[in-house]
Amino acid sequence: MANVWIDDLWLKSDHGTPPPASAKRSLAASRNPLAAQVPDRWKTTRFGSGKRWRCRWYTIEGTTRKQHSKSFAKLTDAEAFQASMEDDVRRGRYANPNDARRKFKDVADMWLRSKNNVSEGVRARYECELRVYVNPKWADVPIGSITHDDVARWIGELSTGEYPAELRWRHEPKPLSPRSIKSIVKVVFAGVLDYAVKVRYLVENPAREAQVPKPEYKDLVFLNIHEIETLADAAEQVGRPLDGLIIRFQSYVGMRINETFALQVGDVDLAKRQIRVRRTWKNSAKTQRLGPPKSGRPRTVAFPKFLVKPLRALIKGKPETAYVFQAVKGGHINDHNWRRRVWHSAVARAGLQDVEGLTPHSLRHSYAAIAIKAGADVKILQRQMGHSSASLTLDIYGFLFPERLGQVADAVDAERTAAIVSKRV
């Protein structure tokens, strides 16, 4: 497509002679086109009926040249559309109207096939959310007909439980949590439409700027240092000294549990007190396999001094590729087995069984709380925990950061005073 033409659907030429200016002026000045002073020889068969102006353009689809059109009541609107379309072509933003008629479910299938860099678990979650929440609403809807208001209404339905869904066991839809809505709308649904924009089926994604309820993370479970130490001692008693070290390692380093169990001797630098997080265990329905960390990128984390001695004893004499934390019979520790064999018994022995929602992942949250209290800023915490962005770190732990406006004001005051004094001297 190179050009967009504007056709007058009411006036025509007569044997090559265009309509006179007087006929055009009369038609433009008349509210009722049928009352305008226009001789019949200049009138088309559609004169006075429907919209007067038509924009017309062509696309090449395979080996076929296909015409497209859009009608307007006002010439100014047609000219604005013409300019916009031709600008889109020059800038590579043009989307074929036929592609905008594709059904959402078909584009969703293409999007899933394109996700070659996600784990089996993440892919399973995408498929589940598409099947249960997204496709029941959008499967047969042409992607080009989805509006900003449609998306906003759907978000409201997800919040109130009034949405269509494919739920098993005849369960009824219920209001979803902000975190679930964010995943369904901003990750999966918007991801499909992002793909449509990328392959130029759409010009813009109506879901990308949609506002979803802000996740509340204040219900996360945090243990204080006394509770962590009590739990670690209990883990040593119900299991091995290694199990107590795992509790402390999780609580004072903040790695994900399957990153810890994938840790190899060669990843540990005792001199610098640093660990290179290169891999994690990926769980599927039947197997475990090694893969990159959740963010997809390796990262370096630091660990406190008191862990140097037990880690040195743990890795002494082991080859670089040996796992740091090993099962009783050697090899890596399976996190499901460890929870069943050690975690639940240690929680009960430590008297923490009534702490609702306490899981091994709570130790990672506890690390964040301790680090923030110790003065860690958001960027350092993001790097240590392997979050994709500092905004995600703030979304989760922002409420833990202390109010420091007074400290900032005092620091500014001190800087001003120092500058004035030095100038006088």
Are residues 359 and 308 part of one domain?
Answer: yes
The reply to whether 219 falls in a domain is no
Are residues 87 and 230 part of one domain?
Answer: no
| Residue among 248, 192, 249, 183 at smallest CA distance from 392 | 183
Are residues 155 and 245 part of one domain?
Answer: no
* Alpha carbon distance 248, 233 (integer Å): 10
Domain boundary among 56, 73, 94: 94
Are residues 332 and 234 part of one domain?
Answer: yes
pTM: 0.59
Give the chain's domain count: 3
Are residues 382 and 237 part of one domain?
Answer: yes
Helix (H, G, I), strand (E, B) or coil at 70: strand
The reply to whether 87 falls in a domain is yes
**Residue 184 belongs to what domain range?**
104-198
The reply to whether 208 falls in a domain is no
| Residue among 256, 237, 234 at smallest CA distance from 353 | 234
Q: What is the CATH number of the domain that holds 336?
A: 1.10.443.10
Mean pLDDT by 10 residues, the chain (425 residues): 83 91 90 90 92 85 76 92 77 68 95 85 89 96 94 95 88 89 94 91 89 76 94 96 96 94 96 94 76 85 95 95 92 93 96 92 92 87 87 79 73 84 68
Are residues 353 and 271 part of one domain?
Answer: yes
* Alpha carbon distance 199, 205 (integer Å): 12
Q: What is the pLDDT of residue 217?
A: 64
CB atoms within 10 A of CB 396: 17
What are the φ and ψ backbone dihedral angles of 327, each rounded to 5 degrees? Answer: -70, 170
* Alpha carbon distance 333, 288 (integer Å): 11
Left (φ > 0), alpha (ψ -120 to 50) or beta: where does 296 sit? left
Cα 339–Cα 273–Cα 228 angle in degrees, nearest 5: 35
Q: What is the pLDDT of residue 292?
A: 86
The reply to whether 419 falls in a domain is no
Domain boundary among 198, 213, 238: 198
Residue pLDDT, tens place only, 263-319: 999 999 999 999 999 999 887 656 788 888 887 789 999 999 999 999 999 999 999
* Alpha carbon distance 88, 251 (integer Å): 53
The reply to whether 172 falls in a domain is yes
Domain boundary among 94, 115, 142: 94
DSSP-derived secondary structure letter, 250: H
Extended beta strands in 245-366, E state: 268-269, 274-277, 280-283, 288-291, 299-302
Q: What is the pLDDT of residue 85?
A: 80
Are residues 268 and 379 part of one domain?
Answer: yes
The reply to whether 408 falls in a domain is no
